[in-house]
Chains A and B, each alone.
Chain A
C-alpha cells in the first residue's frame, strides 16, 4: 500500500494522471456544432469528481462520460449554460465546479489576488520611506562612544578574512 501510494504521489509529482486520453467519444458528440461547442466549454468547467483534478472533458472515467452525456441532454433540452451548471451542482455540490462559486467560503480565495496586490504595494512603499530618515539620523552619543572604542581596538576579527 505504501509503495502504491508513493507511486501515485510520484505520478502526481510529474504533473499527470495515468489516463490515455479517451475523453469525448464520437458517439457523444451532438449534431448541432454550436450546441456541441457550448457542451465542450461547459465540460471544461466541470470536475470529474472521481478523478484527480481533471475536467470531465479530459477524463475517460465512466462518471465523466455520464456527466458529459448529461450536460448534452440538458443543452439539447434547451437549458442555458447557467441552468446546466446549476443542475449539475444541485446533484454533486460545489465540488464539481472547477471555478468555485463566489460565496462566503470562497471570499478569501477570490479576493486573494487583490489583497495580495495591495499588500505587496504597501509593503514595498512602507519599506522605502523610513530609510531616508534613518540614513540622515546622526549617531547617538552612546553610538559615537562605541564607534570610538571600535576604532581604537582595530577591526574585530570576524569582520575581515583571517590569513589562511
Chain B
C-alpha cells in the first residue's frame, strides 16, 4: 500500500513537473503574473511528492518488502539497517529517484529563497528546472521504475558487498548533490538566454548555487578517492577511470565557472563565456550520468544489448544540451559585454584560470570518450589510460598553479606583476627552500618530484602571503592589521583557504606519487619485514564473523626503533549474499605518511604462509586534507552575507538597479 502510494506520488510529480514546465514560462512570455505564480507552489509540490516517493521506497527497503523487484534485487534481511537505507540509492532505479529528489530540493529552494529575483527570471528558471525534472521523471517512470511489483520472494539477493561501506553509503548522495546542483547554473543560464538579458545580479545569484554544488562535488570526489584508497588495496587514490573522469569533468567546469562568475559580478565582463560555462558544467554532469548509466563504458556493445535506457538518456542529453546550446548560439551574440581590461590584471588572471581549467576539462573529455568514438566509427579498439592523462592534463595544471598565487594579488583592470611578486617574496623563498630540502632528502624518485612539492608550497604559502598583504600584517600597526583581518569579508577568507587547500593537496599528490615504497612478500607467522623505517612482524590470521560476512583477519605488530607502535589488521571478507570477496587494508596513519598493509592469499601447500603487501605512502593524507580545506573555504565563502542564498534585506535594493539592462 505504501509502495503504491509512493508510485502514485511519483506519477503525480511528473504531472506537476509538466505544469511547472509550461505555465510559468508561458506567463513570463505573455507577462501574465498569475501564470508565473504557478511556479512556486508547483516546485514545492514536486518536492513533497518526490520526498513521499523516496520515503515510500526507503520504507520498502527498511521493512525488506521483497514483493518490490528493486528491493528484492538489492537488499537482504541480514543487512545492517544503515546499508538497507543506503541500498535505496545503491542501484540504478533508486539512484535515479534520488537524482530527481535532489533536483526538486534545488527547485524548491528557488521558490523559497527567490522572492528577490525578477519575476520573469524566476518563472523561467523554475520552468527550465521543471523541464529537466520532466525528462528524468519520464525516464524513471517508463524505463527505470523502482516501484515495480513482483510475486513476493522469500529473501532478497543482497547488496553488492563493495557498497556496504560507510564511505560508499554517502558518496553517491554527495556526488549527486554536486551534479544536480549545477542544474541551477544551467537553469539560470537558459533563463537569461530566454530573456536575452544578463547582468551582475545574475552572477550574484548563480554563484552561491554553483559554490554549493562545487562543495558537494569536491567532497564527493574526495570521498570516492578515499574509499578507493583504503578499499582497493594498492595504495592508489586516483585511476583516471572513465567513471572518475565523469565526476571530475563537471568539477573542473564548475571551478572555472566559479571564477568567471567573479569577473562577471565585479566587472560585468565575460558574460557570454560565463553563460556558456554554466551550460557546459551541467551538460558534463548529464554526460557523466549518461556514461555511467547507459553501460557504454563497459563496452560500446553493452549499449546495444539493452539500448532502451541508453537511448533514453541519450535523447535527454541531446534535447537538453542541444536545446541549450542552440539557444545560446542564437541569443549570445546579442548579450552586451562590458568591462574592458588589460591582459595583465585580475580579470586576465581569471581568464587564464578559465582557459587552463576548461582545456584541462576538454582534454579529460576527449581522453575519456575517444576510445568509444573511435570504436563506433572505425571499429578499432584503443585504450586511453593514466599515462595519457598524466602526460596531457598534468602539464596544463603547472602554469595554472604557478599563476594561482599571483592572480589575487593583481588589481582589477590593470595589474602590476613585479609588485605582486614582491608581496609574494616569502612564498617564493619558502617554495625554493622546499625545493632544495626535498631534492637533498630524496635519494630516489623522479627528478621532477621536488619541483612539484615546491609548486604546492608556492600555492599554499602564496595564500598565506595574500592574507598577510591584505591585512597589511607587517606594514601597518598590529591594531590596524587586526582590524583589517576582522573586516576582511568571509568570501575573501574562503578563497584564500580554498587556494591553500589546493597547495596542500598538490604537496600530498607529489609526495605520494614520487616516493611511495612497496614490499610484496610471503610471510610465515613470526617472520619480520621492514619498510620505511618500520619493522613489522606477522603474527597470524584468524577467522572472524561479521554481521553478514565471514572474514580472515591478519595480525601484524609494528615497531619502530625497537618500541612498539601499533597493530595492523588487514582482512579479507567474504559476504554471504551475494558471495563476493572484498579486502580491507590495515592502515596506520602517522604524520609522515600511511603505513598500509594488505592481506593476500594463503600460499597453497605451505604451513600458514601468506602473501602480504606493505606500502608506505608518504604524506598521502594531505590529498584529502587539502580537499577538505578546499571545501571549508567554499563553505566559508558561502556563509558570506553578500553571497548568501536568501540574503533578503540587502538584496532587496539590488534587483532594481539590476533590472536596468546592462549598458
Contact = CB atoms under 8 A, between A and B. Distances in A.
Contacts of B298: 5, 8-9, 12, 52
Contacts of B228: 15-16
A55 B385 CA distance: 8
A23 B598 CA distance: 11
Interface residues of A, number: 66
Size category of the B interface is 35 or more
B540 interface: no
Interface stretch (B51-59, B60-68, B236-244, B480-488): B236-244
Interface in B579-609: 580-583, 598, 600-601
A58 B234 contact: yes
Interface stretch (B354-362, B620-628, B633-641): B354-362
A21 B383 contact: no
B119 A16 contact: no
B375 to A, nearest CB: 10
Nearest to B523: A26
A15 B273 contact: no
A67 B11 CA distance: 53
Nearest to A132: B340
A3 interface: yes
B292 A12 contact: yes
A25 to B, nearest CB: 6
B363 A21 contact: no
A135 B581 contact: no
Given A23-B234, A134-B337, A5 B302 contact: yes
A153 interface: no
Interface string A1-39: 011011111111111101111111111010000000000
B255 interface: no
A8 B162 CA distance: 11
Nearest to B522: A26
A64 interface: no
B213 interface: no
Contact of B92 (A9, A14, A108): A9
Interface stretch (B18-26, B126-134, B366-374): B366-374
Contacts of A158: 28, 31, 119-120
Contact of B370 (A98, A109, A113): A109
Interface stretch (A73-81, A117-125, A138-146): A117-125
A15 B659 contact: no
B383 A96 contact: yes
Given A2-B306, A14-B227, A158-B120, A98 B386 contact: yes
B388 interface: yes
B382 A106 contact: yes
A134 B243 CA distance: 44
Chain B interface mostly: helix
A12 B228 CA distance: 12
A85 B219 CA distance: 38
B583 A53 contact: no
Contacts of A21: 232-234, 583, 598, 613
Q: Is the interface of A mostly helix, strand, loop or mixed?
A: helix
Contact of B163 (A14, A98, A161): A14
Contacts of B118: 159-161
A47 interface: yes
Contacts of B241: 12, 15-16, 53
A34 to B, nearest CB: 12
Contacts of A108: 366, 370
A100 interface: yes
A113 B364 CA distance: 9
A121 B273 CA distance: 12
Contact of B162 (A18, A58, A121, A134): A18
Given A24-B520, A52-B298, A124-B351, A109 B366 contact: yes
A116 B340 contact: no
Given A7-B91, A14-B168, A20-B233, A162 B33 contact: yes
Given A53-B242, A97-B382, 9 more contacts: A7-B160, A15-B225, A25-B611, A55-B385, A98-B388, A109-B370, A112-B366, A120-B359, A158-B120
5 contacts: A10-B92, A15-B228, A98-B385, A105-B374, A135-B663
Top 8 A-B residue pairs of the complex, sorted by shortest distance between their CB atoms? A98-B385, A20-B583, A21-B233, A99-B387, A131-B337, A6-B92, A112-B366, A157-B31
Interface of B: 28, 31, 33, 73-74, 90-93, 95, 118-120, 157, 160, 162-163, 168, 171-172, 224-225, 227-228, 231-234, 236, 239, 241-244, 247, 269-270, 272-273, 292-293, 295, 297-298, 302, 305-306, 336-338, 340, 351, 354-355, 358-359, 362-363, 366-367, 370, 374, 378, 380-388, 391-392, 395-396, 520-522, 572, 580-583, 598, 600-601, 611, 613, 655, 659, 663
